[in-house]
A and B are shown apart, each in its own frame.
Chain A
Amino acid sequence: MSPAWLVAAHAQLATLLALTTHGDPLYSRGVGWFVWVVVLIKVVVAFAVLLVSVMLMIWFERKLISDMQSRIGPNRAGPWGLLQTLADGTKLFFKEDLLPAQADRTVFHLAPYLSLVPALLIFTVVPVGGIVTISGHPFELQVADPTIGILVVLAMSSIAVYGVMLAGWSSGSKYPLLGSVRASAQMISYEAALGITTVTVVIVTGSLSTRAIVESQASAFWDWNLIRLGIVPFLLFLTAITAELTRPPFDLTEAEQELVGGFHTEYSSIRFAMFFLAEFMNVITMSGVVVTLFLGGPDGPVPHLPTFDVWFPSVWFVGKVFCFLFLYVWLRAALPRLRYDQLMTLGWKYLIPLSLGWLLAVAGFLVDGWWGAGIAAVALCLAGLLARAFSIGKRRGEHDPLLEPAGARVQRPSLLRLASLTPDRGEGDAPGGGGTGEVG
């Protein structure tokens, strides 16, 4: 007989499991040893797959961006340089772990974990496949399926902000401080747009569970939220998530050219590696979240062949995630970085009003076609007003005389004298005629 406390603990854990994993048919027949084994295997497999895919993602990014920039990229460690990340990780592991004299010890040590752990946890609620049955026990291919699934994602991505913020703050150095100020401002601003677009998905689905969101899109690809909600929420979400991930062109927090390394300037050794790992892990998990919310997760046509229904949806999921991973690398290769004020402008002036208006319109259409049309019309009017306000504000800001053409300003005698020295000045076909006009 087991001791009473063990039975009690088991019962409590079982209740907790049932709460956090309400949708999973695995728990429908109580929690026995088989359930524990399956859960354990799911956790271990998810962890391992995530780590390996991070390793591959770093390799993929380096290799792909090398191709785009006519370089070769890593090609020494392992076949096609596949083990390069492993080699780098090993190297970093054996490096000296420096602690700046002015750093806040505890927080400095804590920060990398605050970045890494949320990245891992987000992946647990992402459905990576359909429902699998092993020896009469059906279960979902996702680590956990809590009723509040998508809220876990939002909560974790908010906690990850603390990692970045505290890392910069605790370094006791000016550049990381600037980096963390940028990071907290950026991530908090973009979380608003992120949250609102997520709400758009949630009100259409009527559930916060990621599994339910995926299942509601399962019938056909025109039922994917990407199409069902109009493309706009998807684009908004993608932009917001790119900013949330601080991927280029929104990588202001670690802008090497401006802030040296941003929040992780003072980090070295394995702690630096953890930030690096967390960043790429976030890229993968957030791609998974985008796929879940807008592209039907593992949904897709499955060939009618034996065992295909078990594993083929996962192939769909991986394929869709892969498209986004490619997109992130592509963006990095193609785009310059935004400036801090431009980033804030984009977030507050465009993304948030647009996502809010779209949310109201979608909500209206859910009630009734007329409600939807009415709200859409009102939103359009408000958008017009907002655009007008922005243009007025912009014009007011443009009183800087420096922005006027240099030629329109008063020329002092010194300039005129120099101009007369220049033989070509004043002729009809002045050499500068072609000037910058050719470029536009």
Chain B
Amino acid sequence: MSDEFDASSPDADLFEEVVGVRRAPRAAPSETSEGAQELGTRSATPLEELRREEGAVLRIPEGAVVDVGDVDVERPTDETMIINMGPQHPSTHGVLRLMLELDGETVLRTKPVIGYLHTGMEKTAEELTYVQGATNVTRMDYLSPLNNELVFSLATEALLGIDVPTRATWIRMLFSELQRISSHLMWMATNGMDLGSTSMMIYGFREREMILALFEKTTGLRMNHDYIRPGGVAADLPDGWEDDVEIICDTVLRRTYEYDELLTGQPIFRERMVGVGSITADEAIALSVTGPILRSTGVSWDLRRSMPYLEYGQLDFDVIVGTYGDNFDRYAIRLNEIRESIKLVRQIAQRVPPGDYRAQDRKVTPPPRARIDESMEALIHHFKIFTEGFRVPEGEVYVAIESPRGEIGCYLVSDGTSKPYRLHIRGPSFVNLQAVPTLMRGGLIADAVAIISSVDPVMGEVDR
């Protein structure tokens, strides 16, 4: 099962004693390609590292001034068991790997190991034109692809210095909020599943399906839409979209109250959530955590409100904050954010103005298909945009928006060509994941699952 096993270590003796079988010797962690990723024995781990694995907040002073007395280096290895959770584990949300040191069922140390879904998307982006770029970034956070596209498009547009038509902006907001609902529904589903409530799993998917149907109707795809592009959106809203949105809002809002009955007031559910995985505001800020985890500690930090982008400044909505910073607060925040997003979607749907859905800039926006047959110029523009792409002025920019998981940022450097010199996505899942050892302090294995779930990592975005 686990590869971290070293037959020469005291663990091997324990294993032999408990299981009665001597295991074949394996390569020591240092000899494998995994190297320092392994959760080592206490004596072999540097103090700062040990402290961090025990849930210390990762800050330079804390690591540097670590007091020897604070860290139990001498703890005998035959009292505890190091166990691998993931990357092939049913509830590590993809390919997250956690190495846990257990004392019975209690988790003493935690180390998230990532990189199992690394596909080099940021590097790939340097080989793709800005036209193709949205197709690439949309695959990062695959549960809210439209937000990835949005942040990339906003960054590109900032460098280009073009204005996007008002209708496109409102469509972007509409879809961003619908995406938030669908992502949080997905979270409700998987969180229910992780706590053993299988019905919630299906219910979450059921409601999400309606939103995906609207996306499919508009963009042609259920995920990885490449719908929000530099210069606007790919297509106008389909006929009758108001009705679809209205049905989605009504149904999902009604269903959120059913979730209250199924989970929120459920005594077992509360027992499992309240007080589990607590984090303070200080710790959360020190760990750069954003999104529902930060808001659960009482910090009202939501980029839609704190640093408004698009037209969020015109809309009326509440930023949901928690008090205790525990799993239940994060659950309540996400559930209520679904309701807030429904409120926003209703406001947006009423205010989407008529007009163009993409910028009328022929250097950026490809011409309609019909124009190609009658205009030589249109044909040339079409050809240039889809082969070379459009050139973006030199410069660098950082744009951040509020994704369902927190602050998703796009750092874009252009050297004046049609391809980015450097693209970096600040993935909220990636940053939030480093809070896992802190959240895990004193938890049990069952809590570990609930805590991973409440961090809501999307590994595509973590590994990029």
Tell me the A residues contacting B by CB distance below 8 Å. 65, 68-71, 101-104, 169, 172-175, 177-178, 181-182, 248-249, 251-252, 255-260, 332-342, 400, 402-407, 409, 411-412, 414-415, 418-419, 421-425, 430-436, 438-440
Chain B residue, CB-CB nearest to A103: B21
Q: A69-B198, A439-B260 are known contacts. Are A174 and B285 too (CB-CB below 8 A)?
A: no
Closest B residue, CB atoms, query A335: B268
Considering the chains assembled together, what is the distance between the CA atoms of A178 and B82 in angstroms? 12
Query: B446 contacts A406, CB within 8 Å?
Result: no
Assembled-state Cα–Cα distance A101/B278 (Å):
40
B319 and A334 within 8 A (CB): no
Known: A340-B444, A431-B300, A439-B260. A69 touches B280 (CB 8 A): no
- Once the chains bind, are A336 and B266 in contact (CB under 8 Å)? yes
Nearest A residue to B22, CB-CB: A102
Which A residues touch B363, using CB under 8 A? Answer: none
Would you mind naming 14 contact pairs between A and B with Cβ atoms under 8 Å apart? A174-B1, A174-B2, A175-B1, A177-B18, A178-B83, A249-B196, A337-B272, A339-B272, A402-B280, A405-B323, A422-B306, A423-B305, A432-B318, A434-B318
Q: Contact residue range for chain B?
A: 35 or more
Query: In angstroms, how far is the closest chain A Cβ from the Cβ of B247?
Result: 17
**Which of B42-50, B151-159, B328-336 is near enough to bind chain A?**
B328-336
User: Measured between alpha carbons, how far is A411 from B266 in the docked complex, in Å?
Assistant: 33
Q: Which residues of B contact A252 (CB under 8 A)?
A: 446
State how many angstroms separate the Cβ of B83 from the closest Cβ of chain A.
5
Q: How many A-B pairs fall under 8 Å by CB?
A: 201
Asked if B19 is an interface residue, CB under 8 A from chain A, the answer is yes
Interface contact A178-B105, CB-CB below 8 Å: yes
Among listed B174-182, B187-195, B383-391, interface-contacting one: B187-195
Query: Considering the chains assembled together, what is the distance between the CA atoms of A433 and B300 in angstroms?
Result: 10
Residue on A nearest B266 in the bound complex, by CB: A336
Q: Which residues of chain A are within 8 angstroms of B196 by Cβ–Cβ distance?
A: 248-249, 251, 255, 257, 335-337
Check if A70 sits within 8 Å of B445, measured CB to CB. Answer: no
Nearest Cβ on chain B to A265's Cβ, whole angstroms: 9
Residues of A within 8 A of B281 (CB): 406-407, 409, 411, 415
| Stretch among B65-73, B165-173, B199-207, B347-355 lining the A interface | B199-207
Determine whether B460 belongs to the interface, using a CB cutoff of 8 Å to chain A: no
Check B319 against A424 for contact (C-beta < 8 Å). yes
Is the CB–CB distance between A406 and B271 below 8 Å?
no
Interface flags, B241-273, vs A, CB<8A=1, else 0? 000000000000000000010111110110110
Would you call B324 and A405 a contact (CB within 8 A)?
A: yes
- Decide if B324 touches A406 in the complex (CB within 8 Å): yes
Question: Which chain B residues in 125-155 approach chain A with CB under 8 Å?
Answer: none
Q: Are A174 and B271 in contact (CB under 8 A)?
A: no
Which residue of chain B has the shortest Cβ distance to A417 in the bound complex? B285
Q: Which of A70, A102, A248, A406 contacts B280 (CB 8 A)?
A: A406
Given contacts A248-B196, A332-B198, contact A406 B325 (CB under 8 A): yes
User: Chain A contacts of B192 at CB under 8 A?
Assistant: 336
CB 8 Å contact bits of B309-345 with A (1 = contact, 0 = none): 0000000011111111110010011011000000000
> Do A339 and B447 form a contact, CB below 8 Å, given A248-B196, A257-B91?
yes
B298's partner among A102, A406, A440 (CB-CB below 8 A) is A406
State how many angstroms separate the Cβ of A252 from the closest Cβ of chain B.
8
Contact A403 B336 (CB under 8 A): no
Q: Contact between A102 and B321 (Cβ–Cβ < 8 Å)?
A: no
Q: How far is it, in angstroms, between the C-alpha of A182 and the C-alpha of B444 when the chains are bound?
A: 13
Expressed in whole angstroms, the minimum distance between the Cβ of B39 and any Cβ of chain A is 14
Complexed CA–CA distance, A436 and B206 (Å): 25
CB proximity to A under 8 Å, residues B17-32: 18-21, 23-24
With A and B bound together, what is the CA distance between A104 and B15 in angstroms?
A: 13
Complex Cα gap A335–B201 (Å): 12
CB distance from A415 to the nearest CB of B (A): 5
**Which residue of B264, B321, B449 contacts A435 across the interface (Cβ within 8 Å)?**
B321
Taking the closest CB of chain B, its distance from the CB of A303, in whole angstroms, is 40
- Within 8 Å by CB of A335, from B90, B265, B266, B319, lies B266
CA distance A409 to B269 in the complex (A): 27
With contacts A339-B444, A414-B286, A435-B320 known, is A169 near B19, CB below 8 A?
yes
**Closest Cβ neighbor of B197 among chain A residues:** A336
Of B194, B198, B285, chain A has the most CB atoms within 10 Å of the CB of B198
Chain B residues with CB below 8 A from A251, complex form: 196
Chain B residues within 8 Å of A439, by CB: 260, 264, 332, 335-336
Residues of B within 8 A of A248 (CB): 196
A148 CB to closest chain B CB, in angstroms? Answer: 35
A409 near B282: Cβ-Cβ < 8 Å: yes
Nearest B residue to A412 via CB reads B282
Query: Which of B23, B275, B445 is within 8 Å of A258, CB to CB?
Result: B445
**Contact assessment for A102 and B336 in the assembled complex, using a CB-CB cutoff below 8 Å:** no
Min Cβ gap B100→A in Å is: 10
A104 touches B20 (CB 8 A): yes
- How far, in whole Å, are A337 and B445 apart by their CA atoms in the complex? 13
Q: Determine whether the beta carbon of B282 is less than 8 Å from that of A434.
A: no
**B199:A68 contact, CB within 8 angstroms:** yes
Contact yes or no, A406 B323, CB < 8 A: yes
Query: Hey, which chain A residues are within 8 Å of B266, CB to CB?
Result: 335-336
A428 to chain B, nearest CB (A): 14
Complex Cα spacing A436 to B442, Å:
25
